[in-house]
Structures are given as structure tokens and as C-alpha cells.
Amino acid sequence: METLKFKTTIKCGGCIAAVTPVLDGLKGVNKWEVNTTIPEKVLTIETDRGLEASEVVTALKTKGYSAEPL
């Protein structure tokens, strides 16, 4: 299992609801969560497929959010 972390622009519950379909749709994502209580708004993804960081960045971009790997 691998854990990927990203600094994002996902700020609230509404933002999480907006990105849920794209993150749930990525192959290899076992679990994900966003910590919106810290300034970096860190998205943590657990994967066992070798998910590439660029796949996550691209998926979030389709919904208008940015992410950069930590």
C-alpha cells in the first residue's frame, strides 16, 4: 500500500462533495480524505495500484481545484 499526499485548494464540505465523484472514480484509490482544518488542506490517498500523482492532479483540475504533491 502506498500513501500519496497533496496540498490542495479543497476548502470545505461543499468542495469535498464536488471532488468525491472524480476521486472515487480513480482506479486504485482505496481510501481518501481531506484535512480542511489546516492551511495546506492536505488530501491523503491510500492506493495499492501505484496511482500516479499526475492522475490525481488532473482529476481535481477537471473540477476546478488544484493540487501539488507533498
Q: How confident is the model at residue 42 (pLDDT cuts 50, 70, 90)?
A: very high
| Residue whose entry in the numeric block shows the C-alpha cell 484535512 | 35
Q: What pTM was estimated for this model as a whole?
A: 0.92
Domain 2-69 has CATH 1.10.287.90: no
DSSP 6: E
Domains in the chain: boundaries? 2-69
Q: How confident is the model at residue 65 (pLDDT cuts 50, 70, 90)?
A: very high
Q: Are 16 and 49 in contact (CB under 8 A)?
A: no
DSSP for 16-70, please give it.
Answer: HHHHHHHHHHSTTEEEEEEETTSTT-EEEEEESS---HHHHHHHHHTTT--EEE-
